[in-house]
Chains A and B, each alone.
Chain A
């Protein structure tokens, strides 16, 4: 499965590139990621969030990096869901912003994990990546993922539809947080 998405962020390309190149930032906006841990200059270990399939982790390596312009990576070893990605950073015509163009490729296997992944992406798999990039834009332009009362848990927003009502959260809901 190949997913593509693009957004424009009102920040210069070197800044957007630097944020993405620190791979540990990816889980702040990519819904399916629980954690990315850097293990070497070009290597890292990625852990998926529960909806993607419990306890799914894989190693990844950066294949190509052109500062300010492009990063390409792929999973290595026996990843449960072999995957690869490329992101390009292109200066926008306004002279201020950066176009972010992403391509993700998943080699979805059969079996339980394959089913969990397929279920996670649902009928509109690209919507997930579109939402990821919207959050990347929020983080870079405003500092954090925007929360509403109806969608209080940031990157879980789409999974929560129909949402909780647009009324303030109780202390109990706040204490339980995103795990509620």
Chain B
């Protein structure tokens, strides 16, 4: 089959690889009908996540049709022919983390748990196409994928919604939603979202659905801010204005009640010297993450507010404003999304028309053109917001 693979830093390549087979009893094989490029794939391609290997199949946002199930798959839950969206964290459904609905912290699905434990203190779940640190599972930017614990995670789509309407239930819609949910949003809240990429857009939509009074989008790409504005959110361009001053102005000097970091480890910055400082530290690997959005979110948030982090961080960061966090009673909440927890309720919101996930799709390409898709997305060419690939 064809699959998009990691071919070294800054390089992806569509290659012929073997078709996946059942390896564990509860595996299913899925013929992929739609898959997408995620912002976090860029962290892998940019070389900021360790343990990538040449030939790793990328992709953790995919859906398709079940073509084969292992002997241990509960047939009451999943059968050949079912149309499914596959959540990016692989979860066993049986451990204490899964019992607590902390699916991305599943204790059983990462065969390389010993390595993850060294990096993170405790291991994390396996993730499709997302380095060997998270298990070494082949990803879904391919024609087929093997899906372990297929009767736990995958969500069956039984209505006639299009792929484009449900594909993002695999990651970015639940991720954005969890970012907003962690904010415990009140009707009087102003919510500021750093990053108007796909996850940021969905965090904004979710904050509105959860009842926020005002939602602010912070980015520097005019087309991304325009997309947010068209969806009813208030744009702030950090290339044009000082973010903190603008946020104070928009909130009568209070600061946003809730702040969401939908940027993560590769933030860019309006101030050249601070950006350069982090870039250099990251380049010489004395800091793995460039945490500018997180710092600014903490400094901007009103006292007693919540800073919710859904942008991906991989390791260590520098100049964390612990003083602001502690002295101003801020709550910091975060997590890789526990996708399985949100898929069904969000599917219902899509069915009711409360959220339209298709609004962020700017490009649809054949899988063969994955390399071009990565390039456009990474370099923000052609107003690229979200690339869907068709295998």
- Interface residues, chain A, with chain B CB atoms under 8 Å away: 8, 10, 94, 97, 127, 130-131, 134, 137-138, 141-144, 146-152, 154, 157-158, 161-163, 165-171, 174
Measured CB to CB, the nearest residue on chain A to B19 is: A168
Enumerate chain A residues within 8 angstroms of B148, measured Cβ to Cβ: 146-148
Q: Closest 6 interchain pairs by CB?
A: A150-B136, A165-B55, A168-B20, A151-B111, A166-B56, A141-B94
Is B72 in the interface zone, CB < 8 Å from A?
A: yes
Report how far A163 CA is from B135 CA in the complex, Å: 10
CB of A167 within 8 A of CB of B24, answer no
Report how far A140 CA is from B148 CA in the complex, Å: 17
Q: Which of B112-120, B193-201, B368-376 contacts A (4 or more CB under 8 A)?
A: B112-120
User: Are A143 and B25 also in contact (CB < 8 A) when A150-B137, A167-B3, A169-B18 are?
Assistant: yes
Chain A nearest CB, measured from B305 CB (Å): 33
User: Are A142 and B21 also in contact (CB < 8 A) when A165-B56, A166-B136, A166-B139 are?
Assistant: no
Report how far A146 CA is from B137 CA in the complex, Å: 11
CB of B25 within 8 A of CB of A144, answer yes
CB of B94 within 8 A of CB of A134, answer no
Is B126 in the interface zone, CB < 8 Å from A?
A: yes
Report how far A174 CA is from B3 CA in the complex, Å: 19
List residues of B (97-120) whose CB comes within 8 Å of A's CBs. 99, 107-115
Interface size on B, residues (CB 8 A): 44
Enumerate chain A residues within 8 angstroms of B139, measured Cβ to Cβ: 166
Enumerate chain A residues within 8 angstroms of B20, measured Cβ to Cβ: 149, 168
Q: Which of B25, B26, B92, B135 touches A148 (beta carbons < 8 Å)? A: B135
CB of A94 within 8 A of CB of B96, answer yes
Enumerate chain B residues within 8 angstroms of A130, measured Cβ to Cβ: 114
Q: Which of A142, A148, A171 touches B94 (beta carbons < 8 Å)? A: A142
Q: Kindly list 19 other residue pairs between chains A and B, CB separation below 8 angstroms, not including A165-B55, A166-B56.
A: A10-B95, A138-B108, A141-B107, A142-B26, A144-B25, A144-B72, A146-B24, A146-B109, A146-B111, A148-B126, A148-B148, A150-B111, A151-B111, A151-B132, A154-B111, A161-B115, A161-B132, A165-B56, A168-B17
CB of A166 within 8 A of CB of B138, answer yes
Measured CB to CB, the nearest residue on chain B to A152 is: B23
In the complex, which of the residues B5, B53, B72, B136 has the most CB atoms of chain A within 10 Å of its own CB atom?
A: B136
CB of B23 within 8 A of CB of A166, answer no
Chain A nearest CB, measured from B99 CB (Å): 7
Chain A nearest CB, measured from B129 CB (Å): 7
Report how far A147 CA is from B25 CA in the complex, Å: 10
In the complex, which of the residues B24, B111, B146 has the most CB atoms of chain A within 10 Å of its own CB atom?
A: B111
Chain A nearest CB, measured from B77 CB (Å): 15
CB of B135 within 8 A of CB of A150, answer yes
28 contacts between A and B (CB under 8 A): A10-B94, A10-B95, A141-B95, A142-B92, A143-B25, A144-B25, A146-B24, A147-B24, A147-B111, A148-B112, A148-B148, A149-B136, A149-B138, A150-B53, A150-B56, A150-B112, A150-B135, A151-B135, A151-B136, A157-B111, A162-B53, A162-B132, A163-B53, A165-B56, A167-B5, A168-B1, A168-B19, A168-B21
CB of B95 within 8 A of CB of A166, answer no
User: Are A137 and B136 also in contact (CB < 8 A) when A157-B112, A168-B146, A170-B18 are?
Assistant: no
Is B249 in the interface zone, CB < 8 Å from A?
A: no
Chain A nearest CB, measured from B83 CB (Å): 22
CB of A149 within 8 A of CB of B137, answer yes
Q: Annotate B67-88 by CB proximity to A: 1 below 8 A, 0 otherwise.
A: 0000010000000000000000
Report how far A127 CA is from B55 CA in the complex, Å: 28
Enumerate chain B residues within 8 angstroms of A166, measured Cβ to Cβ: 53, 55-57, 129, 132, 136-139
